[in-house]
Amino acid sequence: MDQQTVTLIVAGLGIGGTLGGIVVGHFLTRSWQQKQYRQDNVNTESRELLTSLMTVFPAYTKWVRGWASLFPSDLTDGERVRGYSKVTGEFNRVLNDRLFIAKDVKRLEIKKRWDAACVEYDKTTPVDETRMKEHVDAIIADIVEMALNKKPPLWKRAWDRIKRRFKRA
């Protein structure tokens, strides 16, 4: 092989390497941007869910106390019903229309846990919010963990995949 052929091969490899590096860099950047976009949306939806939960919690306790109370409220019954219905409707909407955290909301059974906390709170006499607050704090902690630690480790994902396969069989 003569010197000119070697030079052309080396120059071709250099150009190919440069172009390959550009393409790989583009895909890495794009992949990172997609992950960042997804995480931003997960954070936004988690924040909306937390806000909705923190709005419905005091509304629910006021609702129960208002009906259980012997003292008259400054709101009429109709206003109280409309206000509570609006807040619970918004909470249910937020629970059901999440795109990026829908699987996690289902996995964490947030609606079921909220309903269980409400049933337990309804049964307490006199009305005591400490246990209800414990339930809500546990739900909040799970939502925050979900938002901050979106993807479980590789071994956990593999284990969950294996478990799902055996459940189907």
**Is it the case that residue 75 has pLDDT exceeding 70?**
no
Evaluate whether 96 touches 156 at the Cβ level (below 8 Å).
no
Helix (H, G, I), strand (E, B) or coil at 151: coil
Higher confidence at residue 62 or residue 102?
Answer: 102
**Where is mean pLDDT largest: 10-14, 19-23, 136-140?**
136-140
Q: Which pLDDT does position 14 carry in this prediction? A: 80
On average, the pLDDT of the chain sits at: 81
pLDDT bucket at 77, cuts 50 / 70 / 90 = low
Q: Taking residues 131-150, what's their average pLDDT? A: 88
Residue of 139, 150, 137, 89 whose CA lies nearest to 112? 139
pLDDT at 168: 65
